[in-house]
Structures are given as C-alpha cells and as structure tokens.
C-alpha cells in the first residue's frame, strides 16, 4: 500500500495516544469498529468548563491509515467546542491524509468515533443535569460505550 507522507508521519509518530478516565463526567468515550473487521477505534474527549475540548486521546487497533486517521482526528478536536467538533467530516480527514480509495473507511470510522464520543459526553451531561435537578443519588449514569 503506497501511503502519503502524512499518513506515515502520523503512523510513525502518532499524537495523543492514551487513555482518559472514562468514568469522569467531563470525558466522552467513543468505541467503534469490530475486531473481526480489522479495525477498532477508541476516541476520548475531555471537555473543559468553557465547553471546549481541552484534551483528546485515542487507541486504535487497525492498519496504518486507521491509526493516522485517529491521530489526526484527536489533534483536530483539541480546542474546538463540542458543536464545532461535530462538524468534522470523514472527507476532511481523507483529504488531509490523502487516503487511497480502499482506505476511506478508516476516515469514516474516525468520524463515527468522534460522533460516538460526543454522544457519550452529552448523555453524561444530561444524566448529570437530571441528577442535579431531581433528588440526589438516583440511577447511576453509565452510558459508556464500554
């Protein structure tokens, strides 16, 4: 597979590899893909009090372009508001990394991972709001993908 220099750079020196505390209310976790399909991405965002994503981490099982797509996605997420993050499209990732046609699905997976992480974060916020407005210690929020 002939990859672009950008894919190789992200693959060899991936940015933001790691794990955030999935039980933290300010962290949203997205876990997408399947081992049988050859790629699984876990993307996490940590949203600050100002509503901006202050940190993003990923771990990916997959080929070079899947790793590069996740690395790029986490880099793009940092500093964005959650609403801004939602506008990241797979086509933007594919274009930036110059992915070959057979690897477009890697960028699709990255977009899915972003959406999934955001959805998890929002679900946690909603649960938290519900808890704070209703009586204390009702149900435990656990909308985590894991």
Partner 1 sequence: MAVKLPIYMDYHATTPVDPRVLEAMLPYFTEKFGNAASRSHVYGWTAEEAVSIARERIAALIGASNPKEIVFTSGATESDNLALKGVAEFYKDKGNHIITTVVEHKAILDTCKRLEKEGCEVTYLKVDKEGRVDPADVEKAITSKTILVSVMFANNEVGTVQPIAEIGKITRAKGVLFHSDAVQGIGKVPFSVDTMNVDLASITAHKMYGPKGIGALYVRRSKPRVRLTAQIDGGGHEFGMRSGTLNVPGIVGFGKAAEIMRVEGEAEAKKLVALRDRLKKRLYDKLDAVQLNGSATHRLPGNLNVSFSFVEGEALMMAIKDVSVSSGSACTSASLEPSYVLHAMGIGDDLAHSSIRFGLGRFNTEEEVDYVADLVTSKVQKLRDMSPLYEMHKEGIDLNSVQWAAH
> Which one, 6 or 59, has the nearer CB to partner 1?
59
Buried-state track 6-24, b at ≥16 Cβ within 10 A, e below 16: ebebbbeebbbeeebebee
In the complex, what is the shortest distance from the CB of residue 128 to partner 1, in angstroms, rounded to a whole number?
25
Q: Which residue is catalytic, options 37, 95, 134, 142?
A: 37
63 is catalytic: no
Counts of helices then strands in the chain (DSSP H, E) = 5, 3
Alpha-carbon Rg for the chain, nearest whole angstrom, is 16
The rounded distance, in Å, linking the Cα atoms of 11 and 26 is 28
Torsions phi, psi of 42, nearest 5? -120, 120
Q: How many residues bind partner 1 (CB under 8 A)?
A: 33
**Contact letters (x/-) for partner 1, 65-104, by CB under 8 A?**
-xx----------------------------------x--
Buried-state track 79-94, b at ≥16 Cβ within 10 A, e below 16: ebebeebeebebebbb
User: Of residues 39, 96, 111, 120, which one binds partner 1 by CB under 8 A?
Assistant: 39
Q: Does 2 engage in binding with partner 1 (CB under 8 A)?
A: no
Q: Does 56 engage in binding with partner 1 (CB under 8 A)?
A: no
Binding-site ranges for partner 1 (CB under 8 A) = 1, 3, 8, 11, 14, 17, 19, 31-42, 59-64, 66-67, 102, 105, 108-109, 112, 146
Show which residues are catalytic.
37, 106
């Amino acid at each position: 597979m002939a990859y672009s220099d950008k894919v190789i750079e992200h693959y060899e020196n991936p940015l933001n590899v790691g794990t955030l505390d999935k039980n933290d209310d300010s962290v949203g976790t997205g876990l997408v893909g399947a081992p049988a399909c050859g790629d699984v991405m876990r993307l996490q965002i940590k949203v600050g009090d100002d509503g901006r994503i202050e940190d993003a981490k990923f771990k990916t099982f997959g080929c070079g372009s899947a790793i590069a797509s996740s690395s790029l996605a986490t880099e793009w997420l940092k500093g964005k508001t959650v609403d801004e993050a939602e506008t990241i499209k797979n086509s933007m990732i594919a274009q930036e990394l110059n992915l070959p046609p057979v690897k477009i699905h890697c960028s699709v997976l990255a977009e899915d991972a972003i959406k999934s992480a955001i959805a998890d974060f929002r679900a946690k916020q909603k649960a938290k709001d519900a808890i704070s407005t209703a009586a204390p210690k009702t149900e435990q929020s656990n909308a985590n993908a894991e």
